[in-house]
Amino acid sequence: MINPSGSILETETEMGSNSLSASIKTYIVKNYPNQKIKEAAQITDSKGIVTYEAEVNGKDLIFDNKGKFFKEKKD
């Protein structure tokens, strides 16, 4: 993602859902039973902070770099 002045805001790298940490997968199984992870990605912002995204049931679930749930946003 790049802002209008050309600065990189964040970089998203796709990854297989099996590469997500056990804590992320456990959270999804518990809170979204019988739902599949459609897409997964590692996101690095302009400050180097890494988060993880899992798309489930039309929503992007965002987790911190330790696999703790952070927020949910509409896809």
Q: What is the per-residue pLDDT for 64?
A: 97
Contacts of 27 (CB under 8 A, 6+ apart): 61, 63, 67, 69
Is the whole-model pTM more than 0.85?
Answer: yes
The predicted-structure confidence for 65-74, as pLDDT tens digits, reads as follows 999 999 998 8
Report whether 62 contacts 51 (CB < 8 A).
yes
CA 17 – CA 24 distance, rounded (Å): 10
The predicted-structure confidence for 16-50, as pLDDT tens digits, reads as follows 999 999 999 999 999 999 999 999 999 999 899 99
